[in-house]
């Protein structure tokens, strides 16, 4: 009597006794003696991984099975692998990988790539970023994808060494066997704010200042070759220059000419940063904030100054009025007609304030008796 073993298409049967595999059964029906029934392991030849323990056993004791039924993915120390199934990228294998896959006809394919060339082939990068059939590619973290927008450049560093500038677009680099970094740099005019700087003036008054600077890169490689963090360096230079400009001048000097800070800081920073490939196009102090007690003192000072100016103007006007009266008196003294007109003007002003006037003795009596400047003067 015999036992019938059926192996379906797309499968293999591995026969073993006491854990030792001795025969492979392909698709079909197979008969084995009933009195000596072997152990049976059925595997699917669908491109899946060979279990690690079984893979090591086959490599050591059944290398001919490996050659016939498996895809060997043993990567060198400088190699990466791209595993395709039915033309679709499934996985990125890092260097020094040791894998076996159950080979399914010719649908399983391995592409080997040399990672000493740090650039990832375009077709591999596109397949990783836009996988077919919606499946995520395993091992995609072995690749650094760099997207550089328009009006920007990328600064690529491999193992700490700057390689060059990356143009706008998409590019990929191997992260295995290398330390790869990429910084995206904006080439347009940018604004850097230096806010809340508390600085003592020469006469020991604390000021709080806010400054804004417009800047751009003129030589990106020079900037990153000399400075690890160009923007932080620019910020510190602005701080130092602002402190020097304020600390060497009195409060009165700063309030009298606010542009002096802008000019001093600009002259110092622009010269220093030009050597690093950075242009400071313009800068200016946005706010100068005084402490509370100093505001009160300055308010009183301004009030006193304005009051003194008002007094001077008032005295000037009084002097002018007195001089005008004196000139008028001199004219009336030598001109009776002018005197008479002044009398009539005075009478008119008096009449404007009186509701009712009773006249006795005629109008002439009113004019000569009620208002008569010359007569009064003669009486005296």
pLDDT above 70 covers what percent of the chain? 84
Question: What DSSP letter does each residue of 327-345 carry, written as one string?
Answer: HHHHHHHH-HHHHHHHHHH
Reported as type and span, the H/E element at residue 164 is strand 161-166
- List phi, psi (to 5°) of 16: -145, 155
Predicted local distance difference test score (pLDDT) of residue 378 = 47
Nearest CA-CA partner of 204 in 320, 88, 294: 294
Question: Could you report the per-residue pLDDT of 121-171, keeping only the tens digit for each?
Answer: 999 999 998 877 667 899 999 999 999 999 999 999 898 888 889 999 999
CB of 42 closer than 8 Å to CB of 7: yes
Q: How confident is the model at residue 44 (pLDDT cuts 50, 70, 90)?
A: very high
Residue in this structure with the two tokens 């049976």, named with its chain if needed: 40
- List phi, psi (to 5°) of 275: -70, -20
Whether pLDDT at 368 is above 60: no
Predicted local distance difference test score (pLDDT) of residue 376 = 45
Q: Both ends of the chain: CA-CA distance in Å?
A: 169
CB of 255 closer than 8 Å to CB of 318: no
Q: Which domains does the chain have, with CATH numbers?
A: 74-184 (no CATH), 190-290 (3.30.479.30), 335-380 (no CATH)
More confident residue, 119 or 308: 119
Q: How confident is the model at residue 30 (pLDDT cuts 50, 70, 90)?
A: confident
Question: Could you report the per-residue pLDDT of 210-249, keeping only the tens digit for each?
Answer: 999 999 999 999 998 888 889 999 999 999 999 999 999 8
Question: Which pair of structure tokens corresponds to residue 142?
Answer: 């072995």
DSSP state for residue 62 in the 8-state scheme = -
Q: Over the chain, what is the mean pLDDT?
A: 84
What is the value of pTM for the model shown? Answer: 0.64
Give the 3-state secondary structure percentages of the chain, helix then strand then coil, rounded to 5. 40, 35, 25
Question: Could you report the per-residue pLDDT of 269-298, keeping only the tens digit for each?
Answer: 999 999 999 999 999 998 888 765 655 655
How many of the other CB atoms lie within 10 Å of CB of 307? 10
More confident residue, 255 or 150: 150
Q: Which residues pair with 143 in a beta bridge?
A: 174
Q: How confident is the model at residue 358 (pLDDT cuts 50, 70, 90)?
A: low
């Amino acid at each position: 009597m015999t036992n019938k073993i059926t192996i379906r298409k797309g499968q293999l049967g591995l026969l073993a006794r006491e854990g030792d595999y001795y025969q492979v059964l392909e698709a079909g029906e197979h008969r084995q003696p009933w009195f000596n029934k072997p152990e049976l392991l059925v595997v699917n030849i669908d491109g899946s991984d060979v279990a690690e323990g079984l893979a090591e056993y086959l490599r050591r004791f059944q290398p001919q099975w490996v050659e016939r039924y498996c895809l060997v993915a043993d990567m060198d120390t400088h190699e990466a692998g791209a595993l395709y199934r039915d033309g679709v990228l499934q996985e990125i294998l890092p260097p020094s990988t040791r894998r076996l896959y159950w080979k399914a006809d010719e649908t399983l394919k391995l592409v080997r790539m040399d990672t000493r060339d740090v650039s990832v082939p375009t077709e591999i990068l596109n397949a990783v970023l836009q996988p077919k059939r919606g499946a995520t590619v395993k091992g995609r973290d072995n690749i650094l994808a760099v997207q550089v927008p328009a009006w920007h450049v990328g600064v690529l560093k491999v193992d700490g060494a700057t390689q060059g500038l990356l143009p706008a677009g998409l590019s990929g680099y191997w992260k295995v066997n290398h330390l790869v970094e990429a910084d995206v740099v904006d080439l347009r005019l940018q604004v850097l704010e230096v806010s809340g700087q508390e600085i003592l003036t020469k006469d020991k008054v604390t000021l709080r200042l806010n400054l804004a600077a417009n800047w751009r890169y003129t030589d990106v490689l020079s900037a990153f070759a000399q400075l690890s963090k160009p923007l932080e360096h620019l910020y510190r230079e602005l701080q130092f220059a602002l402190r020097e400009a304020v600390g060497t001048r009195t409060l009165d000097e700063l309030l009298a000419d606010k542009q002096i800070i802008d000019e001093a800081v600009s002259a110092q920073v622009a010269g220093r940063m030009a050597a690093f490939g950075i242009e400071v196009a313009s800068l200016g102090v946005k706010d100068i904030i005084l402490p509370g007690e100093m505001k009160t003192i300055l308010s009183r000072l301004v009030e006193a100054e304005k009051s003194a100016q008002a007094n001077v103007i008032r005295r000037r006007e009084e002097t002018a009025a007195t001089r005008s009266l004196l000139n008028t008196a001199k004219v009336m003294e030598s001109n009776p007609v002018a005197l008479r007109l002044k009398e009539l003007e005075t009478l008119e002003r008096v009449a404007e304030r009186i509701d009712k006037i009773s006249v006795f003795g005629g109008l002439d009596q009113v004019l000569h008796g009620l208002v008569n400047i010359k007569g009064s003067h003669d009486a005296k």
